[in-house]
Amino acid sequence: MSDTSMSRKSANSLNIGRLLLEGRAFFALIAIIAVFSFLSPNYFTVSNFLIMASHVAIYGILAIGMLLVILNGGIDLSVGSVLALSGVMAGAMMQGVEVGPLGMIFYLPVWGVVVVTCAIGALVGAVNGVLIGWFKVPAFVATLGVMYVARGVALLQTNGLTYNNLSGKPELGNTGFDWLGFNRLAGIPIAVIVLFVLAVLTWLMLSRSSFGRWLYASGGNERAADLSGVPVKRVKITVYVISGVLSAVAGLVLSSQLTSAGPTAGTTYELTAIAAVVIGGAALTGGRGTVLGTMLGAFVIGFLSDGLVIIGVSSYWQTVFTGAVIVLAVLMNSIQYGKGARRS
């Protein structure tokens, strides 16, 4: 065999290996669907896919915000707690806001609840961004502290209890909160449509705007980006604000689906969001990652978890399988990006 043919075969095998490595989230999703469709006749149905997609919407919305943070070279451990805080704040407003001096209870319309809840998420995100961007607090430490504060405020707000029956009352003008979690448009759950719209808007922002170029540049090499005129601090604060707003949106969607809001909601969701981003091929060191990959990562986790439930696997084993997928994804990321780093 000639050296030319051997080099061609070697190049082809490298190309196939690279294709499998870069498209691992897509191939993993196809494999999950194939395996669970074989194991359960109830898995491969349109109604089940729509139900699973509505569950994935929560993780996916959080993962979009986490992607932006990770692209910037940071991490946000507070998203699960912000989800819970946003949910209980929305629940409190749906129960009525008492005006102390007047002794009256004021009921906000649902759109007002949504706006105020998103503003709360933005405020928490801004605190993260200022701590990290201006005061140079390590992202892990800053968001860990905010995670505990947000969860503590949620517990204080509810005294550890849960707000139930958030569907509202017509005479109070606050009905429609459950529309986000239960209604469908052309047969597709509203939560899935919200996820799709947010994903498209984020893709447009990353691929077509100056902010997207700044984000990739500052995540890849913050010092070089700063010297090139990129407003590094403003970008850093902005991504944490967006992450906070998206956490609030996820909290609204989850509370709407459950028609209740509790302070323990979203526990460990921050890890699920990070896992979705990593499975989707983003580098934890920043500067590399895509919205499509992150969405595929979220669907891999969601479809795997729901599939294990459908075939009756113990919840303990679900945790084991999910953890194994995350470790495998991190290992593949290390292989993909580590070689490039060593070559450079």
Q: Which range among 219-223, 242-246, 267-271 has the greatest average pLDDT?
A: 242-246
Paired tokens of 161 = 């209890």
Amino acid (1-letter code) at residue 320: V
What is the percentage of the chain residues whose pLDDT exceeds 70? Answer: 91
Amino acid (1-letter code) at residue 288: R
Q: What is the DSSP annotation of 149-185?
A: HHHHHHHHHHTT--B--TT--GGGT---TTHHHH-EE
Long-range contacts of 163-170 (CB under 8 A, 24+ apart): 163/88, 163/91, 163/92, 163/94, 163/95, 163/260, 163/261, 163/262, 164/259, 164/260, 165/259, 165/260, 166/90, 166/91, 166/94, 166/255, 166/256, 166/259, 166/260, 166/261, 167/259, 168/94, 168/110
Of 53-67, 238-252, 267-281, which range is least confident?
Answer: 267-281
DSSP state of 261: B
Residue 138 falls in which region: left (phi positive, over 0), alpha (psi -120 to 50) or beta: beta
Alpha-carbon 31 to chain mean position? 23
Alpha-carbon 45 to chain mean position? 25
Residues 128 and 137: their CA atoms lie apart, in Å, by: 9
CA atoms within 13 A on the CB side of 269: 30
How many CB atoms neighbour CB 12 within 10 A? Answer: 10
Contacts of 324 by beta carbon, 8 Å cutoff, 6+ apart: none
Which residue(s) pair with 97 in the sheet? 106
Closest CA to 244 of 150, 73, 123: 123
Closest CA to 73 of 236, 225, 206, 209: 236
pLDDT score recorded for residue 16? 67
What is the percentage of the chain residues whose pLDDT exceeds 90? Answer: 68
How many CB atoms neighbour CB 327 within 10 A? Answer: 12
Q: Is 177 exposed, middle or buried (0-12, 13-18, 19+ CB in 10 A)?
A: buried
Residues 9 and 51: their CA atoms lie apart, in Å, by: 45
- Check whether 342 has a pLDDT greater than 70: no
- Check whether 235 has a pLDDT greater than 90: yes
pLDDT digits (tens, 9 = 90+) for 18-33: 666 678 889 999 999 9
Of 74-78, 97-101, 124-128, which range is least confident?
Answer: 97-101
Q: What is the mean pLDDT of residues 219-238?
A: 95
Closest CA to 192 of 200, 184, 201, 202: 184
